[in-house]
Amino acid sequence: MKSNSEDLLRELYNLIINPATRDWERHLLVQAKDNHQQLSPTGQLKQLEADLRPLAIRDNLTPDVMDFYLAITGNAPTPTRTTVTTSRPTVASPHEERAVFAGGCFWCMVEPFDQRPGINAVISGYTGGSWEQPTYEQVSGQYTGHVEAVEIKYDAREISYQELVDIYWQLIDPTDRFGQINDRGSQYRPVIFYADQSQLAIAQASKQAVIDAQRYQKPIVVAIEPLQQFWPAENYHQDFYRKQPRRYQRLKKTHDRYLHWLKFKNKF
């Protein structure tokens, strides 16, 4: 293994008790843990890598387990809590405003906004919780009450908050209060965070419009909450779609396929 085996085994134990880990993922993790009598730590991890590989190739692992798999193979990005850097520097102006949305893993929430005219920056981070400066491990473990979210800094002369909200509704399953698609857990719940009364009015009206359209068989459960402190995520989470384009495209393909299926299902 290219990473320290003992550190990886400690992370394995954390994944076992992580509520976001799926049952069948947990089964493989527990199986690897219980092999310590027959295999060395390196042997345990090699066997687990082989067991997870078919699922990892199809991007069918939850984000934490996928990161663990990449660490086993020596491909994990190095976590850091340094100053956040994004692909485009931001310059504060009287016309710059911000919007904050949560809709599943923030890796897939950046690119759809980032490619629009008038967007100055899209930052991945955490909000809605009680802890200060939460880490990815703490949030994904559901210890802090935060959700993964994106903070969008935009020029209000070029793109409106209404347009951003309209984009947001196209990216999520608004009937799922327990996560989004393959992302399960309270840290992935869909939320529109409003910064002022104007944003609140637009968010409420947009939600009512989705309800009135009756395009979904289940209730619309997207929460609308006041914006709290937004904590930028670690640098290796920023601009994920640019840093890991192949992995992002696989995730996006799965994401888009599910949303297309959902629209087709609700149509009939």
What is the pLDDT, as a whole number, of residue 81? 44
Q: Can you read off the two tokens belonging to residue 221? A: 């459960």
% of the chain exceeding 90 in pLDDT:
41
What is the pLDDT, as a whole number, of residue 254? 86
Radius of gyration (C-alpha) of the chain in whole angstroms: 19
CATH, domain range 96-267: 3.30.1060.10
What is the pLDDT, as a whole number, of residue 102? 96
So which residues are the catalytic ones?
105
CB 15 within 8 A of CB 64: yes
Per-residue pLDDT of 196-233, as tens digits, reads 999 999 999 999 999 999 888 899 999 999 999 999 99
Q: Interior CA angle at 76 toward 45 and 88, to 5°? A: 170
% of the chain exceeding 70 in pLDDT:
88
- Residue 125, classed as helix, strand or coil, is strand
User: Which of 232, 190, 228 is closest to 104 using CA atoms?
Assistant: 190
Return the number of other C-beta atoms located less than 10 Å from residue 52's C-beta.
22
pLDDT band of residue 235 (cuts 50, 70, 90) is confident
Q: Can you read off the two tokens belonging to residue 129? A: 């919780």
Interhelix angle 23-33/41-57, nearest 10 degrees: 160
CB-based burial label for 23 (10 Å; 0-12, 13-18, 19+): exposed
In the block, tokens 């994106």 appear at 150
pLDDT at 6 over 60: yes
| Selected residue with higher pLDDT from 56 and 149 | 149
For range 190-198, the mean pLDDT: 97
For range 177-195, the mean pLDDT: 90
Q: Interior CA angle at 82 toward 77 and 86, to 5°? A: 75
pLDDT at 263 over 50: yes
Return the number of other C-beta atoms located less than 10 Å from residue 29's C-beta.
24
pLDDT band of residue 8 (cuts 50, 70, 90) is confident
What is the pLDDT, as a whole number, of residue 159? 96
Q: Where are the domains of the chain?
A: 5-72, 96-267
For range 1-21, the mean pLDDT: 73
Per-residue pLDDT of 66-102, as tens digits, reads 888 888 887 765 444 444 555 454 445 778 999 999 9
